[in-house]
Amino acid sequence: MVYLVEHFYSIQGEGKFVGTPSVFFRFGGCNLRCQDFGEYFVKGKIVYGCDTVRAVNKEIFQNEWKRIENEKVLIEILDDYIENLDFKPHIVITGGEPMIYATDSIFYKFIQYLVNNDFIVTIETNATIKVDIEKFSAYKDVIFAMAVKLSNSGEPYDKRVNKEVIKEYINNTSYSFFKFTLDRGIIERRAFEEIVDIVEPYPEAEIFCMPLGDKQDIIKKHDKAVAEFCLIYGFIYSDRLHVRLWNREKKR
């Protein structure tokens, strides 16, 4: 059994495939909280967390969480999006942290369906959930967008960095990449050292750095510092194109 928070058709706004038409499936639940990423005023309360806080806090956002009891429901949702398209959009599996469902039979059968039908599938993950990819071999055919969290998330190192998991994902897929969220503060402190600690064993992996923020004015506070940081260290700047275009609009 899995929880789906939302699904929508839009362009990918971040990372390697920026601008690519994609169907997004956002699953509910996460093993982290990332309290330092932002604060939101929800139903009379301040909630701390990331830009997908509603996919992390089931207790507060339970009305938006839909229980999925069969993978056919997910396939039907996809069919509705693609029936009028003459091409195959990318599929983005996101959250929350979708890999909390990695071995769930409904979730896994959906991933199998996607890769068996030649969809290009990206799973956006914090890369902390261990999965035996030899056993769950459909994951060999997905792309992991590994958004490993840095100290600016507020999570302790041992929770946010799992090098065994990163190794498993990179060594068992033909292409996966890193995507880090940076703000001015961490750039001034030790962003480079933190990133090197994570990526050093993988000199071939592409490293994208993007500014913190889910609102245009917040992104503008950090974007130039992130771009300058990328120019110094040879990382790839990733904007948050969906935020530039649509700000905080839902399903974008």
Does residue 34 bind ligand SF4 (CB under 6 A)? yes
Pick from 128, 93, 88, 129: nearest CA to 2: 93
Q: 33, 58, 90, 159: which one contacts ligand SF4 (CB under 6 A)?
A: 33
Beta-bridged to residue 146, according to DSSP, are 125, 178
Question: Which CA distances in Å does 101 have to 48, 68, 125?
Answer: 24, 12, 11
Site residues for ligand SF4, 47-76, by CB under 6 A, read: 49-50, 52, 56
What is the β-pairing status of strands 21-27 and 2-11? antiparallel
Task: Kindly indicate which of the ranges 14-22, 93-101, 171-179, 184-192 contains the residues binding ligand SF4, using the contact rule CB under 6 A.
Answer: 93-101
Does residue 4 bind ligand SF4 (CB under 6 A)? no
Minimum CB distance to ligand SF4, residue 154 (Å): 9
Does residue 126 bind ligand SF4 (CB under 6 A)? yes
Give the residue with the Cβ less far from ligand SF4, 126 or 172.
Answer: 126
Task: Kindly indicate which of the ranges 32-40, 170-178, 223-231, 244-252 contains the residues binding ligand SF4, using the contact rule CB under 6 A.
Answer: 32-40
Beta-bridged to residue 45, according to DSSP, are 42
Quote the crossing angle between the two packed helices 191-199 and 216-233, to the nearest 10°.
70
Binding-site size for ligand SF4 (CB under 6 A) equals 15
Residues 6+ apart with CB under 8 A from 226: 182, 187, 209, 210, 211, 237
The site for ligand SF4 (CB under 6 A) is made up of 30, 32-34, 37, 49-50, 52, 56, 95-97, 126, 149, 153
